[in-house]
């Protein structure tokens, strides 16, 4: 019997959840589901890796099920390990990685006979066409797999190397990986974290977990905005068909004013502005699809930073710790732009310009951490697979450098503008066409729809 082969490149959240869905409800014919991971473990990726410092999820346990048919699946799993875990608790990310591994294992055990999961470790460097009906997935070591369908579940791209870091990239005081933090810093040391998002908060909290030995922390980002705090708000409190928002889709200024008015109304009734953000998130794909490109550009240039700090929030206890560090003078948040970084002995001298000023300032650091976040501009990618896909025309970058252009079910749009029937993408770079595709539940829903489509085909 001829077997159909579906290859999933990447076994982080997206790849793992897609594989589990295909195992639960596979195609009717004999199917090999080949799940490929270039890291050491499947089901974790960078986000849910087991680390010495217990980084926390920034979404409550009750809202993180990887299966929409079982909304409390993760909570029940967590409670088997942490008896006191509640639906509003923010649990360690490593626990979520364990959960994803368990989800895949359970789906594999329960899969019908015609579906077979094949795990493979290695780095995929190239995907080539094999005639009209098949593809070849090629590894860095020269091995290759023939595939009928390929799904790119590549996760977040790495952070870019900033221009100012070119001369110090190999200096021991520079960390391009924000999770690779030294353990030898003391209160006499000074650290600069470049970026003010959730990764900055992770690094700052990891470095200051022992208050007596915490170094002096500085941050720099373009606007100096840091994530706001989570609250026990009601995610479904604001209901409606989104008509008022969608009616404003010709102007991002109108969308902003309508959103602010809705937030004021909700708060006047005793609600929480986070309920409005969740409502907007639910309608973001439709809204984004209607916005003209010029309005999308205005949003990315002027409003994205403000949306991010309202949308990507910190657990309350972590937000309080950040506030305590700032209040105690151990964390200084700056807005500005780095002009130059030079190595002088074991330290780095940072020349930067504060926002709104013509004069420059100098900061001395024993450690500089790149926490600027992923770079979605494919033309700057250093990933051999991404560069190969672009060179062969199998994928197309969007005009705003937000990710990959995709059609229905995540079908990759090629260089000629055609949606592929054989190459698909699943992950945060879907935001080029949907905007809100970074949360676990959003990617879960995309995974379920893609799995149903693949099974039907």
**Which pLDDT value is given to residue 82?**
93
Residue 363, pLDDT > 70, answer: yes
180 DSSP 8-state letter: -
Domain with CATH 3.50.50.60 in the chain: 4-158+376-456, 163-228+313-370
Q: What are phi and psi of 384, to 5 degrees?
A: -60, -35
Check the CA dihedral 169-361-312-431 and report its sign.
negative
Residue 132 has pLDDT above 80, yes or no: no
Contact 319, 229 (CB under 8 A): yes
Residues found in the chain? 457
pLDDT at residue 142 above 70?
yes
Per-residue confidence band for 236, with pLDDT thresholds at 50, 70 and 90: confident
Residue 329: what are its φ and ψ, rounded to 5°?
80, 10
Q: How far is 27 from 89, CA to CA, in rounded Å?
A: 37
Angstrom distance (rounded) from CA 366 to CA 356: 27
Q: Write the DSSP symbol of residue 270.
A: T
Residue 245: phi and psi, rounded to 5, are -70, -50
pTM attached to this predicted model: 0.95
Going by pLDDT thresholds of 50, 70 and 90, the confidence category of residue 2 is confident
> Could you tell me whether strands 134-139 and 124-130 are parallel, antiparallel, or unpaired per DSSP bridges?
antiparallel
What's the CA gap between 109 and 102, in Å, rounded?
11
Q: What percent of the chain has pLDDT over 90?
A: 89
302-310: long-range pairs with CB below 8 Å, 24+ = 303/252, 303/256, 305/222, 305/223, 305/225, 306/225, 308/197, 308/225, 308/227, 309/197, 309/225, 309/226, 309/227, 309/228, 310/228, 310/273, 310/274, 310/277
Average pLDDT over residues 141-165: 94
pLDDT reported for residue 1: 60
Per-residue pLDDT at 411:
97
3 state SS of 310: helix
pLDDT for 143: 95
159-178 confidence digits (pLDDT tens) = 889 999 999 999 999 999 99
Distance between CA atoms of residues 451 and 457, nearest Å: 10
Cα separation, 404 vs 376, in Å, equals: 9
Output phi, psi for 428, to 5 deg.
-65, -20
What average pLDDT score do residues 287-303 get?
Answer: 96
Q: What is the mean pLDDT of residues 102-106?
A: 97
Residue with tokens 């130059």: 340
Superfamily of domain 4-158+376-456: FAD/NAD(P)-binding domain (3.50.50.60)
Q: What is the pLDDT of residue 52?
A: 85
For residue 153, give the H/E element and its range: none
Confidence of residue 138 (pLDDT cuts 50, 70, 90): very high
- What is the residue-wise DSSP string for 6-43? EEEE--SHHHHHHHHHHHHS--SS-EEEEEEESSSSTT
Looking at residue 338, what is its pLDDT? 98
Tokens of 76: 């029940």
Helices (H) and strands (E) in the chain, counts: 13, 16
Dig out the tokens for 187 from the structure.
């209160």
CB-based contacts of 293: which residues, under 8 Å, 6+ apart?
399, 400
Strand pairing class (367-370; 411-413): unpaired
Task: Output the DSSP codes for 416-456.
Answer: TSPEEEEEEE-SGGGHHHHS---SHHHHHHHHHHHHHHHHH
- Residue of 381 and 333 predicted with greater confidence: 333
**Adjacent-strand bridge partners of 162:** none
> Cα separation of 370 and 166, whole Å?
12
- Determine the Cα–Cα distance for residues 96 and 98; give it in Å rounded to an integer: 5
**How far apart are the C-alpha atoms of 291 and 16, rounded to whole Å?**
32
User: Mean pLDDT over residues 305-329, rounded?
Assistant: 96
CATH superfamily of the 163-228+313-370 domain: FAD/NAD(P)-binding domain (3.50.50.60)
For residue 211, name the pLDDT band (cuts at 50, 70, 90).
Answer: confident
- pLDDT at residue 221, as a whole number: 97
How does pLDDT run across 393-448, given as a tens digit for each residue?
999 999 999 999 999 999 999 999 999 999 999 999 999 999 989 899 999 999 99
């Amino acid at each position: 019997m001829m077997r159909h082969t579906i290859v999933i490149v990447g076994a982080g959240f997206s790849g793992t959840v897609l594989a589990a869905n295909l195992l639960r409800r596979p195609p009717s014919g004999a199917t090999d589901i080949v799940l490929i991971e270039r890291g050491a473990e499947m089901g974790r990726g960078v986000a849910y890796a087991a680390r010495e410092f217990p980084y926390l999820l920034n979404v409550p346990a009750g809202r993180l099920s990887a299966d929409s048919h079982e909304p409390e699946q993760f909570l029940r799993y967590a409670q088997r390990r942490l008896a006191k875990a509640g639906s509003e608790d923010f649990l360690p990310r490593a626990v979520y990685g364990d959960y994803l591994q368990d989800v895949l294992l359970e789906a594999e055990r329960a899969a019908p006979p015609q579906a077979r999961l094949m795990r493979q470790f290695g780095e995929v460097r190239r995907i080539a066409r094999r005639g009209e009906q098949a593809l070849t997935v090629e590894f860095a070591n020269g091995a290759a797999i023939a595939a009928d369908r390929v799904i790119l579940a590549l996760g977040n791209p790495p952070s870019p190397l900033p221009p100012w870091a070119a001369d110090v990239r190999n200096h021991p005081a520079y960390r391009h990986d924000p999770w690779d933090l030294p353990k030898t810093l003391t209160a006499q040391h000074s650290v600069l974290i470049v970026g003010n998002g959730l990764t900055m908060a992770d690094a700052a909290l990891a470095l200051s977990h022992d208050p007596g030995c915490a170094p002096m922390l500085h941050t720099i980002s373009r606007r100096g905005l840091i994530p706001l705090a989570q609250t026990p708000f009601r995610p479904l409190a604001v209901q409606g068909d989104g008509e008022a928002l969608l009616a404003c889709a010709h102007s991002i200024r109108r969308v902003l004013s309508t959103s602010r008015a809705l937030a004021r109304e909700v708060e006047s009734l005793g609600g929480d502005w986070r309920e409005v953000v969740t409502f907007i998130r639910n309608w973001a794909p439709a809204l984004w699809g209607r916005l003209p490109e010029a309005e999308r550009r205005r949003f990315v240039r002027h409003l994205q930073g403000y949306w991010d700090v309202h949308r990507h929030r910190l657990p309350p206890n972590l937000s309080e710790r950040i506030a305590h560090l700032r209040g105690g003078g151990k964390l200084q948040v700056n807005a500005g732009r780095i002009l130059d970084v030079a190595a002088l002995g074991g330290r780095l001298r940072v020349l930067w310009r504060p926002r709104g000023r013509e004069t420059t300032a100098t900061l001395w650091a024993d450690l500089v951490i790149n926490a600027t976040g992923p770079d979605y501009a494919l033309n700057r990618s250093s990933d051999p697979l991404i560069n190969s896909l672009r060179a062969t025309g199998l994928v197309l970058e969007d005009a705003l450098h937000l990710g990959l252009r995709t059609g229905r079910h995540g079908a990759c749009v090629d260089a000629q503008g055609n949606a592929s029937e054989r190459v698909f993408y699943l992950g945060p770079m879907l935001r080029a066409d949907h905007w809100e595709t970074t949360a676990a539940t959003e990617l879960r829903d995309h995974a379920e729809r893609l799995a149903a489509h693949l099974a039907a085909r």
